[in-house]
Structure 1
Amino acid sequence: MRVLFVAAPGVGHLMPAVPTLWAAQEAGHAVLVATTGPSLEMAARSGLAAVDVCDGDAADTYHRLGVWIAKNRPDRYDLPGAWRRFVGTSNPRGPATVDAPPGPAPDDPPGAAPDDAVALARGVGGQLVDRTVDLIRRWRADLVVFTTFLSGGQLAAEAAGTPCVMHGIGLPYPTFSTVLSAMEDVCARHGVTGALTPPVATVDLCPESLRPRGSSAGWPMRYVPYNGGAVLPDWLCVPPRRPRICVTWGSVLPAVGCTSMLRDVVEAVAAEEAEVVLTAGEPELSGLGPLPPNVRAVDWVPLSALLPSCAAVVHHGGSGTTFTALAHGVPQLVLPQTADQPVNAQAVVERGTGMAFPDRDIDRGALADGVRRALTDPRIREACRQVREEIRAMPGPEQVVRRLSEAAS
């Protein structure tokens, strides 16, 4: 079987599928990644063959889209409202940006729209379609796998007449039928009319206890944390002497300059008798000034290596960070900033595996109280243990790859 995997430029869309692609290679299948920007480099670093299919500067559009969404975040997210819209069957578009502005800002990236999914499809996915269609045909792919939100991958498969599978990245976000109307020019170029052929399957990483009511289950697969490789520091190879708390802001927010609250977050967390590990890029760290003595700042440490030693994690609510913490049973304190993060934050609250802080301006006292609760509340730790064991019991990537092979035949 020849599997072409299509991913958006952001590495958070690629890394949840890397263990699946490794399993496909281990089973003897040919695997090729079609992407651009940071995901292209990450795919190569992960031992995967990759091709740049950027038609125009999709990576720059992805970055500018992130800047725009972050700039327009509300002062306070309505997390229960975000969750209701996400699980509601009356919303044909599925989850949308919480409290999104009514229209594009003057300096929006090409194709920006209030709905993040449509903006990603039109502004990013649409730029990848032409070369992906050509690659599907030239490489003779038997199956196209695309990630949640990137319907451009599904459109490319439709244009090439190749079956496709959607690979989840966390919660079971639905497919977005409206993205076709956002890419009419691309559809016209490839003779695609009407509704797209549904994916033959969806690889579903969501454990049942987090599944929104009314959402359909796909092929279940255990979330295997993967955050890239790195040379680990010596201190990470021995158990910590006091509780270790990780503070991380993901890969997108630092890149778009959304780090203004990090100083307040660090000082609130550092008020505890704990070792605080702050992971961020060097430019973000240098802008924070002198740090409290119990804060260890590191440029990059894979969460899959760091979180097993942590008693809690404070983060932005990205899917990768949320699910890596769930897989390791680590209590979470989530400060959602943009995109799907409010929904991930509320999922953590709904399941009892942590707390969420929806305000743009952080309340240091509330966050410090939340840290103490995360470290001491047996109900949170028990919920984390339950979800960790639930994820461990799900089928592994190698089992899903066998089903993918059957789907392509």
Structure 2
Amino acid sequence: MRFLFVPGNSPSPIFSQAVLATAARSAGHQVLVGGIEWVQPDIAGIGLSPVRISPLTEQDVANFMSTAPADPVLQAVAVGKIYAEIALDSQKALLELAGHWRPDLVVGGSMFYTAPLLAHQLGIPSVRLDWDRCDSAMYAPGAAEVLEPALPGFGLTAVPEPDLWVDICPPSLRAADAPPVQLMRWSPVNPQVPLEPWMYSKGDRPRVYITAGARLFSGDHLRDMARAISDLGVEVVIGAPERVAKDLRAELPDARIGWVPLDVLAPTCDVILHHGGGVTDMTAIRYGVPQVIVNYDISREAMQQLADYGAAIMLAPGEEAPEKIAAACREVLTDTRYRARAGELAAEIAALPSPAEIVGMMEKLVTGGKTWAA
């Protein structure tokens, strides 16, 4: 069978969906992954086959991020609009692809616009695969402004529902009123580098990993967070794209800085200090690592759920002062309850159905067998 994945418009959803895409390919299916120009190297870097669906570049994304509203609600509206615009603009390229390589099924990400529109036009099943724990409903108002005037052209009055909805959130962190979904055991897939022993082994000091995500275009937050914990006696590892890492190395000579595969590093960490990024969060949960979350934005509600569960500390707006960050990291390092609660969530993920089982459900969607009911 032919499975087309269209995860999203930044590296994070690419990395998150790779575990299912790889499972599908390992089962003998042909797999292509569609993405904007910016993420083509990221798709190829994890060993999958990229197809360009939009000419948007890294600079285009940087320009959008620099002008996005600071308010989380307004920011979500802006992001929903841009995802919807890309969904509409990419249909031509996707239909051209289908003229040469017709998929049997299409898998889309949390902002589920591109995949169901294509599936509707081709008359094939669609699958929604959530790539983090954030509630994508926050993007719907912005997306609706763009999609509603265009839907009649597709013969639709609403975006079609998925034939299969797959979620990766641990059961204990799912909201009581969350929609019915098929849960899946999730593991991170990252671009790799030649490994050095320190990346997969622990030293004699607690290790704190700091990141602000793959869409980072400035190292200011990383530098400030690293300096905040400089007196804790910990080993600091900073994950950052090279465009940011090269400047930070001169400012933070005692830290290890650069691209480190987090799927390798995470099991050696004692704390992951980050901005509330969805894939960073899921990777920490997968390996039972407690978190300290600062500089978060539209992921606030999901991160608060984790803190309420006891597996993280989330600093509220205005609490990003160095002494607050240091105190939070010190608490997580010294109070074993955070590690224990994080371990409970890791065990929940490990008990969920495997990606190979989800591939079997996808196969049944194509052949007409019963697989899933909301």
Normalized against structure 2, the TM-score is what?
Answer: 0.89
Deviation string, structure 1 residues 233-276 (Cα, Å, up to 9, x no partner)? 23224321111111111101x23x3x433322111122101111
- Structure 1 stretch 155-164 or stretch 21-30: which is displaced more? 155-164
Equivalent positions of 1:160-309 (< 5 A) are 160-171=122-133, 173-174=135-136, 179-183=143-147, 186-187=150-151, 191-252=154-215, 254-255=216-217, 257=218, 259-288=219-248, 291=251, 295-309=254-268
Alpha-carbon distance in structure 1 between the residues aligned to 2:134 and 2:315: 23
**Other-structure match for 1:124:** 86
**Other-structure match for 1:26:** 26
**One of 305, 314, 319 as aligned partner of 1:347:** 305
Q: 1:265 to 1:271 in 2, by over 3 A?
A: same
**Which residue identity is paired with 2:211?**
T
Deviation string, structure 1 residues 307-364 (Cα, Å, up to 9, x no partner)? 11110010111110000000011110011343x3223321221221111123367211
Deviation string, structure 1 residues 265-321 (Cα, Å, up to 9, x no partner)? 11112210111111223443444475566x423210011111111100101111100
**Other-structure match for 1:315:** 274
Q: Report the secondary structure of 1:270's partner residue.
A: coil
Alpha-carbon distance in structure 2 between the residues aligned to 1:172 and 1:261: 22
- Measured after TM superposition, the shift of residue 203 of structure 1 is 1.1
Q: 1:379 to 1:216 in 2, by over 3 A?
A: same
Q: 1:360 to 1:155 in 2, by over 3 A?
A: farther
Q: 1:367 to 1:193 in 2, by over 3 A?
A: same
**Which residue identity is paired with 2:226?**
V
Is the CA contact (8 Å cut-off) linking 1:11 and 1:42 kept in structure 2? yes
Q: Report the secondary structure of 1:230's partner residue.
A: coil
Alpha-carbon distance in structure 1 between the residues aligned to 2:220 and 2:230: 17
Query: Hey, which of these two has a bigger chunk of helix by percent?
Result: 2
Alpha-carbon distance in structure 1 between the residues aligned to 2:154 and 2:86: 20
Q: Report the secondary structure of 2:90's partner residue.
A: helix
Q: 1:172 to 1:296 in 2, by over 3 A?
A: closer
> What RMSD, in angstroms, separates the aligned Cα atoms of the two structures?
2.3
Q: Report the secondary structure of 2:169's partner residue.
A: coil
**One of 110, 115, 129 as aligned partner of 1:148:** 110
- Measured after TM superposition, the shift of residue 181 of structure 1 is 4.3
Alpha-carbon distance in structure 1 between the residues aligned to 2:177 and 2:245: 43
Alpha-carbon distance in structure 1 between the residues aligned to 2:193 and 2:146: 39
Q: 1:48 to 1:33 in 2, by over 3 A?
A: same
**Other-structure match for 1:10:** 10
Q: 1:177 to 1:311 in 2, by over 3 A?
A: closer
Is the CA contact (8 Å cut-off) linking 1:4 and 1:144 kept in structure 2? yes
Alpha-carbon distance in structure 2 between the residues aligned to 1:274 and 1:308: 16
The size of the alignment, in residue pairs, is 365
Is the CA contact (8 Å cut-off) linking 1:318 and 1:344 kept in structure 2? no
Q: Report the secondary structure of 1:345's partner residue.
A: helix
Equivalent positions of 1:98-113 (< 5 A) are 98=73, 100=74
- Structure 1 stretch 243-252 or stretch 175-184: which is displaced more? 175-184
Equivalent positions of 1:86-101 (< 5 A) are 97-98=72-73, 100=74
Deviation string, structure 1 residues 123-157 (Cα, Å, up to 9, x no partner)? 43333222113323431211010011141222222
Alpha-carbon distance in structure 2 between the residues aligned to 1:181 and 1:408: 32
Q: Report the secondary structure of 1:261's partner residue.
A: helix
**Other-structure match for 1:330:** 289
**Other-structure match for 2:119:** 157
**Which residue identity is paired with 1:266?**
A
Alpha-carbon distance in structure 2 between the residues aligned to 1:237 and 1:52: 34
- Structure 1 stretch 35-44 or stretch 381-390: which is displaced more? 35-44
Is the CA contact (8 Å cut-off) linking 1:269 and 1:368 kept in structure 2? yes
Q: 1:378 to 1:312 in 2, by over 3 A?
A: same
Alpha-carbon distance in structure 1 between the residues aligned to 2:58 and 2:150: 18
Q: 1:41 to 1:269 in 2, by over 3 A?
A: same
Normalized against structure 1, the TM-score is what?
Answer: 0.82
Q: 1:264 to 1:407 in 2, by over 3 A?
A: same
Q: Report the secondary structure of 2:3's partner residue.
A: strand
Q: 1:117 to 1:149 in 2, by over 3 A?
A: farther
Is the CA contact (8 Å cut-off) linking 2:148 and 2:157 kept in structure 1? no
Is the CA contact (8 Å cut-off) linking 1:270 and 1:292 kept in structure 2? no
> Within the alignment, does 1:407 sit opposite 2:369 as a pair?
no
**Other-structure match for 2:348:** 390
Q: Percent identity?
A: 26
Alpha-carbon distance in structure 1 between the residues aligned to 2:241 and 2:84: 29
Which consecutive residues of structure 1, in runs of 5 or more, have no partner in the other structure?
75-96, 101-112
**Other-structure match for 1:81:** none
- Structure 1 stretch 172-181 or stretch 33-42: which is displaced more? 172-181
